[in-house]
Amino acid sequence: MALKNLEDGRAIQGLLAAKTVRSAVILGMGYIALEMCEALRARGLAVDLIKPGPVFLPWLHPDLAAVVKQELEANQAGVHLGRQLQRIESTEKKELRVLSDGPVLKCELALVATGVTPNSRLAERAGLQLGPQKSSHVDKTLLTSCPDIYAAGDCADAVHVVTGRDVWIPLALRANRAGWAVADNVTGRPVELPGVAGTAVFKVFDLQVARTGLNVAEAQEAGFDAVETVIQSRSRAHAHPGASTIHVQMVADRRTGKLMGAQMVGREGVAHRINAPAVALHAGMTVADFIQCDLAYAPPFSPVWDPLLTAANQLIKAL
Ligand SMILES: Cc1cc2nc3c(=O)[nH]c(=O)nc-3n(C[C@H](O)[C@H](O)[C@H](O)COP(=O)(O)OP(=O)(O)OC[C@H]3O[C@@H](n4cnc5c(N)ncnc54)[C@H](O)[C@@H]3O)c2cc1C
């Protein structure tokens, strides 16, 4: 089964309700695959995840990715990296066999969560200019290369606020905002959208995983002199019970001192905290500017020095 929209989700729910499904193999290890892994484990299914690439969450700093992988394994999910998938066979016992160059994975449900591509065939066939991954290219007013056609949502590209380059990052806020902006523009209220920072968050069992902006490889590829730091801090003040570790990675450009991106993994205090560096990226702040930001503190929510400020204080030493 594929998992692309709400109907797919309902179909999976229906299948789980109608049959006794005890095991699943998920093809893919992106955020949707990981969220489904959690959902299926919560229903008591045995779950294996499999993908051809050798690196788990390759966009995430390896130290942070290791924490997420550990969380999956602690929840008895099988993580099979670097496996070239061959085919899926169904047996006479109505079992599925997922064949790869590794051990055969048997299951009753195989879920395909291998990513999405822009639904831009219409734009391509109409001869419109295409952007990254063949998305429909739009300007800041959401106009395509044809002056009578706008495009909004996962089918279209956007400008990245850090690099100024066109990117294709299919996420809900941009899609929604672009839809509103098109409505404004066609009804005579001109709007321009500055772009996206690629801010994203997801949950894997008890972990929150978040990112905004560029990682080191992306920053280097975009021509920046990228430098990064990785720190561990706490989600609450040291004397407050229930604190857990927050892992923070932060990237800056040596030439300008500008913040390029941040990533975080932790059990609490990650999901909304990522919005602070996201705003800093939109504002084009340097790490020095960010360090001076007046971030909130109270013992149940943060150490006096927020984990983001601790990371920025380390990062500035490397600039
Ligand atoms: C399982 C899953 C989980 C996700 N979780 C998150 C999340 O936590 N956070 C986040 O930011 N994003 C998330 N996303 C991404 C988010 O859902 C998309 O970015 C967002 O829905 C894109 O909106 P859209 O309107 O461009 O496309 P869609 O929501 O896909 O809507 C497109 C609509 O166009 C219709 N359509 C397609 N072709 C045609 C045609 N030729 N004619 C007429 N109608 C057509 C489709 O039927 C559909 O109704 C998730 C996506 C998936 C699949």
- State pLDDT tens for residues 121-179: 999 999 999 999 999 999 999 999 999 999 999 999 999 999 999 999 999 999 999 99
- Out of 4, 5, 204, mutate this one to test ligand 1's pocket (max ligand atoms within 8 Å of CB): namely 5
pLDDT confidence bin for 7, thresholds 50/70/90? very high
Q: What Rg do the C-alpha atoms of the chain give, in angstroms?
A: 22
The whole-angstrom separation of Cα 313 and Cα 319 is: 11
What's the pLDDT at 181? 98
CB atoms closer than 10 angstroms to residue 86: 11
Instruction: Report how far apart, in Å, the C-alpha atoms of 103 and of each of 50, 88, 138, 317 are.
Output: 11, 13, 45, 47
Q: Is the CB of 264 under 6 A from ligand 1?
A: no
CB of 108 closer than 6 A to ligand 1? no
pLDDT tens, position by position, 68-126: 999 999 999 999 999 999 999 998 888 999 999 999 999 999 999 999 999 999 999 99
CA neighbor of 111 nearest in space, from 99, 98, 124: 98
- Indicate whether residue 154 lines ligand 1 (CB < 6 A): yes
176 lines ligand 1 (CB under 6 A): no
CA 18 to ligand 1 centroid distance, Å: 27
pLDDT of residue 304: 97
Whether 2 has a pLDDT exceeding 80, the answer reads: no
pLDDT at 93: 82
318 CB less than 6 Å from ligand 1? no
- Give the pLDDT confidence of 11-67 residue by residue, as tens digits: 999 989 888 899 999 999 999 999 999 999 999 999 999 999 999 999 999 999 999
Q: Please tell me the pTM assigned to this model.
A: 0.96
pLDDT at 198: 98
* CA 155 to ligand 1 center in whole angstroms: 9
Q: What number of helices (H) and strands (E) belong to the chain?
A: 9, 14
With 0-12 CB in 10 A as exposed, 13-18 as middle and 19+ as buried, what is 142?
Answer: buried
169 CA from centroid of ligand 1 (Å): 12
Would you state the pLDDT for residue 239?
87
**Is 192 buried (19+), middle (13-18) or exposed (0-12) by CB count in 10 A?**
exposed
Contacts of 238 (CB under 8 A, 6+ apart): 303
Q: By alpha-carbon position, which residue is closest to atom 41 of ligand 1?
A: 122
With vertex at residue 21, the alpha carbon angle to CA 17 and CA 24, rounded to the nearest 5 degrees, is: 120
Please give the pLDDT value at position 89: 95
| Residue in 3, 12, 31, 32 to alter for ligand 1 test, most ligand atoms within 8 A of Cβ | 32
Position 214 scores a pLDDT of 98
